[in-house]
Structure 1
Amino acid sequence: MNRLIISLLFLLSNVVFSQELNIDAVWTETFGNATGDEGNAVQQTTDGGFIIVGLTRPYEGDNMPRLWLIKTDSIGTEEWTYFYDESGSSVGYSFQQTTDGGYIAVGTHSNNALLVKVNSQGTEEWSQTRNGT
Protein backbone atom coordinates (compact mmCIF):
# COMPACT_ATOMS: atom_id res chain seq x y z
CA MET A 1 0.00 0.00 0.00
CA ASN A 2 1.60 3.23 -1.19
CA ARG A 3 -0.37 5.51 1.07
CA LEU A 4 0.88 6.96 4.26
CA ILE A 5 -1.31 5.91 7.04
CA ILE A 6 0.04 7.34 10.18
CA SER A 7 -2.73 6.21 12.40
CA LEU A 8 -1.93 7.52 15.78
CA LEU A 9 -3.60 5.16 18.17
CA PHE A 10 -3.55 6.54 21.62
CA LEU A 11 -4.66 4.00 24.08
CA LEU A 12 -6.32 4.05 27.42
CA SER A 13 -5.51 1.00 29.46
CA ASN A 14 -6.72 -0.16 32.80
CA VAL A 15 -4.35 -2.68 34.32
CA VAL A 16 -5.65 -4.21 37.52
CA PHE A 17 -2.62 -6.22 38.69
CA SER A 18 -3.53 -9.08 36.37
CA GLN A 19 -2.72 -10.28 32.88
CA GLU A 20 -5.85 -8.62 31.48
CA LEU A 21 -5.42 -5.34 29.58
CA ASN A 22 -8.39 -3.29 28.39
CA ILE A 23 -7.47 -1.12 25.37
CA ASP A 24 -9.63 1.47 23.63
CA ALA A 25 -8.55 3.83 20.83
CA VAL A 26 -9.16 7.44 21.82
CA TRP A 27 -8.66 8.85 18.31
CA THR A 28 -6.94 8.15 14.99
CA GLU A 29 -5.68 10.50 12.29
CA THR A 30 -4.19 10.04 8.79
CA PHE A 31 -1.57 12.36 7.27
CA GLY A 32 -0.04 12.50 3.82
CA ASN A 33 -1.18 11.35 0.43
CA ALA A 34 -0.81 8.46 -1.99
CA THR A 35 2.88 9.03 -2.78
CA GLY A 36 4.44 6.57 -0.33
CA ASP A 37 4.79 8.90 2.66
CA GLU A 38 6.00 7.27 5.88
CA GLY A 39 6.07 7.98 9.58
CA ASN A 40 9.07 6.58 11.44
CA ALA A 41 8.65 7.91 15.00
CA VAL A 42 6.05 9.68 17.11
CA GLN A 43 6.32 11.27 20.55
CA GLN A 44 4.14 13.36 22.84
CA THR A 45 5.36 16.95 23.21
CA THR A 46 5.50 19.08 26.35
CA ASP A 47 2.33 20.95 25.31
CA GLY A 48 0.35 17.69 25.16
CA GLY A 49 0.44 17.45 21.36
CA PHE A 50 2.45 15.06 19.23
CA ILE A 51 5.30 15.25 16.75
CA ILE A 52 5.89 12.75 13.94
CA VAL A 53 9.02 12.32 11.82
CA GLY A 54 9.39 10.41 8.58
CA LEU A 55 9.41 11.15 4.87
CA THR A 56 7.14 12.73 2.28
CA ARG A 57 7.21 13.30 -1.45
CA PRO A 58 5.70 16.81 -1.49
CA TYR A 59 5.99 17.64 -5.19
CA GLU A 60 3.90 15.99 -7.86
CA GLY A 61 6.14 14.24 -10.36
CA ASP A 62 9.16 14.38 -8.02
CA ASN A 63 9.76 10.99 -6.46
CA MET A 64 12.54 12.19 -4.12
CA PRO A 65 11.62 11.70 -0.48
CA ARG A 66 12.08 14.60 1.95
CA LEU A 67 12.52 14.48 5.72
CA TRP A 68 9.10 15.33 7.17
CA LEU A 69 7.96 16.64 10.56
CA ILE A 70 4.30 16.98 11.53
CA LYS A 71 3.19 18.70 14.76
CA THR A 72 -0.32 18.07 16.06
CA ASP A 73 -2.36 19.16 19.03
CA SER A 74 -3.54 16.68 21.67
CA ILE A 75 -6.37 15.34 19.49
CA GLY A 76 -4.35 14.94 16.29
CA THR A 77 -5.23 18.16 14.48
CA GLU A 78 -2.22 19.26 12.41
CA GLU A 79 -0.65 22.49 13.69
CA TRP A 80 2.23 22.66 11.22
CA THR A 81 4.26 20.57 8.84
CA TYR A 82 7.90 20.90 7.76
CA PHE A 83 9.93 19.14 5.10
CA TYR A 84 13.64 19.42 4.34
CA ASP A 85 13.67 20.99 0.88
CA GLU A 86 17.18 20.40 -0.45
CA SER A 87 17.87 18.48 -3.66
CA GLY A 88 18.45 14.78 -3.11
CA SER A 89 16.58 12.31 -0.96
CA SER A 90 16.23 12.75 2.79
CA VAL A 91 14.51 10.67 5.45
CA GLY A 92 13.81 11.46 9.10
CA TYR A 93 14.27 8.69 11.66
CA SER A 94 14.24 10.28 15.09
CA PHE A 95 13.92 13.60 16.90
CA GLN A 96 14.09 15.25 20.28
CA GLN A 97 12.24 18.25 21.67
CA THR A 98 14.70 20.95 22.72
CA THR A 99 14.63 23.10 25.85
CA ASP A 100 13.51 26.12 23.80
CA GLY A 101 10.38 24.25 22.62
CA GLY A 102 11.76 23.45 19.17
CA TYR A 103 12.85 20.11 17.74
CA ILE A 104 16.01 18.50 16.42
CA ALA A 105 15.43 15.81 13.79
CA VAL A 106 18.00 13.21 12.78
CA GLY A 107 18.03 11.43 9.46
CA THR A 108 19.90 10.98 6.22
CA HIS A 109 20.31 13.18 3.16
CA SER A 110 21.85 11.69 0.01
CA ASN A 111 23.64 9.00 2.07
CA ASN A 112 24.98 11.53 4.58
CA ALA A 113 23.96 12.10 8.18
CA LEU A 114 21.43 14.94 8.52
CA LEU A 115 20.60 17.06 11.57
CA VAL A 116 17.82 19.68 11.33
CA LYS A 117 16.70 22.17 14.00
CA VAL A 118 13.25 23.76 13.76
CA ASN A 119 11.61 26.18 16.18
CA SER A 120 8.31 25.56 17.99
CA GLN A 121 6.41 26.81 14.91
CA GLY A 122 8.18 24.44 12.49
CA THR A 123 10.47 27.02 10.90
CA GLU A 124 13.97 25.74 10.13
CA GLU A 125 16.66 27.44 12.20
CA TRP A 126 19.60 25.45 10.84
CA SER A 127 20.60 22.17 9.25
CA GLN A 128 23.85 20.25 8.96
CA THR A 129 25.00 17.26 6.97
CA ARG A 130 28.02 15.09 7.67
CA ASN A 131 29.74 12.89 5.12
CA GLY A 132 28.52 9.34 5.57
CA THR A 133 31.60 7.60 4.19
Structure 2
Amino acid sequence: MQFQALFFLLAASLASAAPLTTPFLQSRQQAPGTVTCTNKAQTLSSHDCNVALLSLGPGGIAGAIQFLRPNTASVSATSGTCKVSAQTTDGSIIDISKGRLEHGGVKGFDNLLDECGATPGTVLIEGGATGGGNVLVTIAAA
Protein backbone atom coordinates (compact mmCIF):
# COMPACT_ATOMS: atom_id res chain seq x y z
CA MET A 1 0.00 0.00 0.00
CA GLN A 2 2.80 2.43 0.85
CA PHE A 3 4.47 1.68 -2.48
CA GLN A 4 1.25 2.53 -4.36
CA ALA A 5 0.92 5.84 -2.49
CA LEU A 6 4.54 6.75 -3.18
CA PHE A 7 4.15 5.82 -6.84
CA PHE A 8 0.97 7.91 -7.09
CA LEU A 9 2.71 10.95 -5.53
CA LEU A 10 5.68 10.61 -7.87
CA ALA A 11 3.44 10.27 -10.94
CA ALA A 12 1.35 13.28 -9.88
CA SER A 13 4.39 15.47 -9.30
CA LEU A 14 5.88 14.55 -12.68
CA ALA A 15 2.60 15.24 -14.45
CA SER A 16 2.34 18.72 -12.95
CA ALA A 17 5.99 19.64 -13.47
CA ALA A 18 7.08 21.79 -16.36
CA PRO A 19 8.14 19.84 -19.42
CA LEU A 20 11.76 18.83 -19.55
CA THR A 21 13.78 20.96 -21.90
CA THR A 22 17.19 20.45 -23.36
CA PRO A 23 19.47 23.39 -22.66
CA PHE A 24 20.77 25.25 -25.70
CA LEU A 25 24.37 24.26 -26.17
CA GLN A 26 26.60 26.93 -27.60
CA SER A 27 30.20 26.33 -28.52
CA ARG A 28 32.79 28.47 -26.86
CA GLN A 29 34.17 31.26 -28.96
CA GLN A 30 37.84 30.72 -29.59
CA ALA A 31 40.20 33.45 -28.46
CA PRO A 32 41.40 36.00 -31.02
CA GLY A 33 44.66 34.83 -32.52
CA THR A 34 43.71 31.17 -32.29
CA VAL A 35 44.98 29.20 -35.28
CA THR A 36 43.40 25.80 -35.98
CA CYS A 37 44.81 23.46 -38.63
CA THR A 38 41.92 21.32 -39.83
CA ASN A 39 43.55 18.90 -42.30
CA LYS A 40 47.36 18.81 -42.37
CA ALA A 41 47.25 15.90 -44.84
CA GLN A 42 45.65 18.04 -47.57
CA THR A 43 48.20 20.24 -49.32
CA LEU A 44 47.15 23.40 -51.13
CA SER A 45 49.24 25.93 -53.03
CA SER A 46 50.35 28.82 -50.79
CA HIS A 47 50.44 31.01 -53.92
CA ASP A 48 46.81 30.11 -54.66
CA CYS A 49 45.84 30.92 -51.05
CA ASN A 50 47.57 34.33 -51.19
CA VAL A 51 45.89 35.14 -54.53
CA ALA A 52 42.50 34.09 -53.09
CA LEU A 53 43.06 36.33 -50.04
CA LEU A 54 43.87 39.33 -52.24
CA SER A 55 40.75 38.59 -54.32
CA LEU A 56 38.35 38.94 -51.37
CA GLY A 57 35.58 41.49 -51.69
CA PRO A 58 34.43 43.58 -54.63
CA GLY A 59 37.57 44.31 -56.65
CA GLY A 60 39.84 42.50 -54.19
CA ILE A 61 42.34 43.98 -51.76
CA ALA A 62 45.51 43.79 -53.86
CA GLY A 63 47.61 46.90 -54.43
CA ALA A 64 46.69 50.22 -52.83
CA ILE A 65 43.38 49.02 -51.33
CA GLN A 66 43.62 49.46 -47.55
CA PHE A 67 40.36 47.93 -46.28
CA LEU A 68 38.09 44.98 -46.90
CA ARG A 69 34.55 46.42 -46.79
CA PRO A 70 32.28 44.09 -48.77
CA ASN A 71 29.04 45.39 -47.17
CA THR A 72 28.24 41.85 -45.99
CA ALA A 73 29.05 39.58 -43.03
CA SER A 74 30.93 37.03 -45.12
CA VAL A 75 32.96 36.91 -48.29
CA SER A 76 35.03 34.29 -50.10
CA ALA A 77 37.33 33.97 -53.09
CA THR A 78 38.91 31.03 -54.89
CA SER A 79 42.16 30.69 -56.78
CA GLY A 80 43.38 27.36 -58.14
CA THR A 81 43.51 24.85 -55.27
CA CYS A 82 42.54 27.28 -52.51
CA LYS A 83 39.38 28.96 -51.23
CA VAL A 84 39.69 31.72 -48.63
CA SER A 85 36.64 32.87 -46.67
CA ALA A 86 36.17 35.61 -44.10
CA GLN A 87 33.12 36.00 -41.88
CA THR A 88 32.27 38.02 -38.81
CA THR A 89 31.54 36.23 -35.56
CA ASP A 90 28.61 38.49 -34.70
CA GLY A 91 26.85 38.66 -38.09
CA SER A 92 27.67 42.32 -38.60
CA ILE A 93 29.41 43.80 -41.66
CA ILE A 94 33.10 43.10 -42.33
CA ASP A 95 35.20 46.27 -41.99
CA ILE A 96 38.81 45.23 -41.55
CA SER A 97 42.06 46.82 -42.61
CA LYS A 98 44.26 44.95 -45.03
CA GLY A 99 47.07 45.00 -42.45
CA ARG A 100 44.90 43.45 -39.73
CA LEU A 101 43.56 40.85 -42.15
CA GLU A 102 47.05 39.86 -43.27
CA HIS A 103 48.95 40.24 -39.99
CA GLY A 104 46.25 40.56 -37.32
CA GLY A 105 46.21 42.48 -34.06
CA VAL A 106 47.26 39.24 -32.41
CA LYS A 107 47.51 36.93 -35.44
CA GLY A 108 46.27 37.07 -39.01
CA PHE A 109 46.31 35.25 -42.34
CA ASP A 110 50.13 35.14 -42.44
CA ASN A 111 50.17 33.33 -39.09
CA LEU A 112 47.66 30.81 -40.40
CA LEU A 113 50.01 29.98 -43.28
CA ASP A 114 53.04 29.96 -40.95
CA GLU A 115 51.45 27.55 -38.46
CA CYS A 116 49.46 25.28 -40.79
CA GLY A 117 51.43 25.63 -44.00
CA ALA A 118 49.33 25.60 -47.14
CA THR A 119 46.73 23.29 -45.59
CA PRO A 120 43.12 23.90 -44.55
CA GLY A 121 42.64 25.83 -41.31
CA THR A 122 41.21 28.87 -39.56
CA VAL A 123 42.42 31.92 -37.68
CA LEU A 124 40.26 34.23 -35.59
CA ILE A 125 41.33 37.83 -36.13
CA GLU A 126 40.54 40.30 -33.37
CA GLY A 127 38.12 43.04 -34.44
CA GLY A 128 37.19 43.83 -38.02
CA ALA A 129 33.38 43.72 -37.66
CA THR A 130 31.16 46.80 -37.48
CA GLY A 131 29.26 45.30 -34.53
CA GLY A 132 32.42 44.81 -32.48
CA GLY A 133 32.90 41.14 -33.35
CA ASN A 134 35.91 39.36 -34.75
CA VAL A 135 36.64 37.98 -38.21
CA LEU A 136 37.16 34.26 -38.78
CA VAL A 137 39.35 33.53 -41.81
CA THR A 138 39.22 30.04 -43.30
CA ILE A 139 41.47 28.34 -45.84
CA ALA A 140 39.89 25.34 -47.57
CA ALA A 141 40.33 23.25 -50.70
CA ALA A 142 38.67 24.81 -53.74
Give TM-score scaled by structure 2 length. Answer: 0.32
- Structure number having the greater strand percentage: 1
Compare CA radii of gyration and give the structure with the larger one. 2
Give TM-score scaled by structure 1 length. Answer: 0.33
- Structure number having the greater helix percentage: 2
Query: Highest relative contact order (Cα 8 Å, sep 6+), 1 or 2?
Result: 2
